[in-house]
Chains A and B, each alone.
Chain A
């Protein structure tokens, strides 16, 4: 399966990865190889096999609706690169 450089650029944008020309050059064939490898699964005959949404045959892993202690305000913000006394600081976000 062919992967174009434009597709890699788009995926990088969606993932917020800032790639330079050299990186795009190097990554395009690598990503193509990965996709081709995964694509080999298409050769398997899956007629009559139920699609599955999860790799583990588990379901209904639920918990009771109970409040449990979380982190203190200080602990929650401890590793934030930028913060003030209220919360996590990020560059100004234009709403909408």
Chain B
């Protein structure tokens, strides 16, 4: 295997979560009966005129600010001409040379490596096309067009070719989805199944030049389409890198020596397949849309959006680590669950006074219950104050830690606070003097154990722990061991 570097750039389309379409008042809603959310504007009927949805502009600016983009003061609309049955006007209204946001960046962390910054070329607004319902019978019957989706607002976010592996591509997509999705900004549902987040990947290789040390050779760029999950994105990039490596060895073809190719990912076959090239696909003959006036986004208004911006995942992770002493791992787990879980943790930490223990309980136990039962935080039914109360009792020694898990489960199952759950389980804190008395009794009754420990076999104490628990089920095994060893050292 020679040395090569996989080079990936991603084009991500997110459908903006507006109530109405980009240029008309039809509902922007998934799943309605075909052709029931249409009007003269989105059907492209003659004489109809588009009017820009202010909310789509606001969500695009918000996204731009979140992705560290500049928001130019002036942005305009262009027509991208192509013919396809689900594009009723014969052109897509998009943005060509003056996009609403550009020159951004997104930091990604991958495989415990140092975070890397991926540059974002631009994010522009455009309208979506309709859907083609193909004849699935295989008889080559007619295609039926549904235009409900036509004219819904999309934001196309284009990265620079800064990603270096399938894993980095996945990390980029995961972070982008976290920021834009309902967990944080909520500018989009980011639901891949429903098509509100779509990904195309541009992939090629930089191969070490065997003739010129330190130089590399680029292979032709391939655009991969039909990526329906993050897993598909990863697999397709891995497959495509290997395919291009084989192709390079066979043909020696470099970038520029073959046109940019489009390939579709076949998830079942696990490979990319060349797609039919449209003979004049590169010529979209963009020109400014005469029906739409340019949009100005003055700096003052952008600043207003920036000030109203909620705390984003990266800042939140940093705050959890620096202000609350969490591990980077715990901070990541909490933040990736969304703002609601972070706020829950913050309340538990503040009320219990122990952020680390709070993080343990939330990440290990609360999330376990959520995931196991597919429940939302609210549905779990454990208010943060109750969990904090339990943690406070644990740290104060009023709740023996071996029984804390039982208490936790019962608090959820029976909707109880800590005191009520402990009472129901018959748990009481074990008085230290009672524990010492139990240990002393056990040691007197088991001279063999004492002799073993004195001979250096400390683990012999283990035999007494079960007996101690029989006398008092709340006895803490760790504490029993400590007390026994202390007593033996003092000659019982």
Give the B-binding residues of A (Cβ under 8 A): 10, 13-14, 16, 53-56, 58-73, 76-77, 82, 84, 86-96
* Stretch binding the partner chain, chosen from B51-59, B335-343, B443-451: B51-59
A54: chain B residues at CB < 8 Å are 76, 288, 290, 293-294
Return the chain A residue nearest B226 by Cβ. Answer: A96
B144: chain A residues at CB < 8 Å are 84, 86-90
* Stretch binding the partner chain, chosen from B131-139, B173-181, B247-255, B426-434: B131-139
A94: chain B residues at CB < 8 Å are 276
Contact of A65 with B53 in the complex, beta carbons under 8 Å: yes
Return the chain B residue nearest A70 by Cβ. Answer: B39
Contact of A90 with B53 in the complex, beta carbons under 8 Å: no
Contact of B146 with A86 in the complex, beta carbons under 8 Å: yes
Return the chain B residue nearest A58 by Cβ. Answer: B293
Number of A-B contacts (CB under 8 A): 137
* Chain B interface size range: 35 or more
Contact of B290 with A55 in the complex, beta carbons under 8 Å: yes
Interface of A is mostly: loop
A10: chain B residues at CB < 8 Å are 280
A89: chain B residues at CB < 8 Å are 142-145
Contact of B142 with A59 in the complex, beta carbons under 8 Å: no
| Interface status of B353 (Cβ within 8 A of chain A) | no
Contact of A92 with B135 in the complex, beta carbons under 8 Å: yes
Interface residues of B in 22-58 (CB under 8 A from A): 24-27, 33-40, 42-43, 51-57
| Interface status of B295 (Cβ within 8 A of chain A) | yes
Give the A-binding residues of B (Cβ under 8 A): 18-20, 24-27, 33-40, 42-43, 51-57, 76, 81, 83-85, 98, 132-135, 140-147, 225-226, 262, 264, 275-276, 279-280, 283, 285, 288, 290, 292-296
Contact of A14 (CB < 8 Å), options: B33, B53, B81: B81
A84: chain B residues at CB < 8 Å are 142, 144
B143: chain A residues at CB < 8 Å are 89-93
Contact of B147 (CB < 8 Å), options: A58, A63, A88: A88
Beyond A53-B76, A59-B296, A62-B54, is A14–B280 a contact (Cβ under 8 Å)?
yes
Return the chain A residue nearest B83 by Cβ. Answer: A16
Give the complex CA separation of A88 and B43 in angstroms: 11
Beyond A54-B290, A93-B134, is A88–B19 a contact (Cβ under 8 Å)?
no
Contact of B280 with A73 in the complex, beta carbons under 8 Å: no
Contact of B34 with A66 in the complex, beta carbons under 8 Å: no
Beyond A10-B280, A66-B19, is A90–B145 a contact (Cβ under 8 Å)?
yes
A87: chain B residues at CB < 8 Å are 34-35, 133, 144-147
Beyond A14-B283, A54-B293, is A64–B54 a contact (Cβ under 8 Å)?
yes
Return the chain A residue nearest B51 by Cβ. Answer: A63
Give the complex CA separation of A63 and B49 in angstroms: 13
Contact of A76 with B43 in the complex, beta carbons under 8 Å: yes
A88: chain B residues at CB < 8 Å are 35, 85, 144-145, 147
Given contacts A53-B76, A64-B55, A65-B53, 7 further A-B contacts (CB under 8 A): A14-B283, A59-B296, A62-B53, A72-B36, A86-B35, A86-B146, A96-B262
Return the chain A residue nearest B52 by Cβ. Answer: A62
Contact of B132 with A95 in the complex, beta carbons under 8 Å: yes
Give the complex CA separation of A60 and B290 in angstroms: 14
Contact of A91 with B142 in the complex, beta carbons under 8 Å: yes
Contact of B40 with A71 in the complex, beta carbons under 8 Å: yes
Interface centre among B35, B134, B225 (most CB of A within 10 A): B35
In the complex, how many angstroms separate the beta carbon of B82 from the nearest chain A beta carbon?
9
A73: chain B residues at CB < 8 Å are 33, 35-36
In the complex, how many angstroms separate the beta carbon of B242 from the nearest chain A beta carbon?
22
Return the chain A residue nearest B295 by Cβ. Answer: A60
B27: chain A residues at CB < 8 Å are 67
Query: Can you name 24 A-B pairs with beta carbons within 8 Å?
Result: A14-B283, A54-B290, A58-B293, A59-B294, A61-B292, A62-B295, A65-B20, A65-B53, A66-B20, A68-B20, A68-B24, A68-B39, A70-B25, A71-B43, A77-B35, A86-B34, A86-B146, A87-B144, A88-B144, A88-B147, A90-B144, A94-B276, A96-B226, A96-B275
